[in-house]
Amino acid sequence: GQNIDQPTEMTATEGAIVQINCTYQTSGFNGLFWYQQHAGEAPTFLSYNVLDGLEEKGRFSSFLSRSKGYSYLLLKELQMKDSASYLCAVRDLGNRDDKIIFGKGTRLHILP
């Protein structure tokens, strides 16, 4: 089966660092995405990891360990606009093509 787990909610302070964890079990694995979703809006792409290790992109970094079925998204120098849901999504191998399986998302609250 397929299962993606991430915390439901987190709170952090403006200017601080926060790490959002994601664990997954899928029948096939072909990469992991992180998306940001503000309330009432569409998801927007943040990062993609297919190999183990850390990918850094400005204030956001994403880490993957395939052997542990684990990823995290690291947000530095938090800003109020970072208040949003962060969605972990796995590219799962299907019969002919891949499916993107989303987790339930982590709602991040930023306090001033």
Partner 1 sequence: EPEVTQTPSHQVTQMGQEVILRCVPISNHLYFYWYRQILGQKVEFLVSFYNNEISEKSEIFDDQFSVERPDGSNFTLKIRSTKLEDSAMYFCASSDGRGQSEQYFGPGTRLTVT
Residues found near partner 1 in the complex (CB under 8 A): 30-31, 37, 41-45, 48, 50, 87, 89, 94-105
Q: Which is nearer to partner 1, 36 or 72 (CB)?
A: 36
Least separation in angstroms between CB 109 and partner 1: 16
Q: Which is nearer to partner 1, 8 or 112 (CB)?
A: 8
Least separation in angstroms between CB 9 and partner 1: 13
Q: Which is nearer to partner 1, 78 or 91 (CB)?
A: 91
Q: What type of residue is 35?
A: Y
**Whole-angstrom Cα distance, residue 103 to residue 112?**
28
* 17-30: burial string, b at 16+ Cβ within 10 Å, e else: ebebebbbebeebe
DSSP string covering 85-107: EEEEEEEEE-SSSEEEEE---EE
Q: Which is nearer to partner 1, 15 or 94 (CB)?
A: 94
**What backbone torsions phi and psi does residue 29 show, to the nearest 5 degrees?**
-135, 130
Least separation in angstroms between CB 37 and partner 1: 8
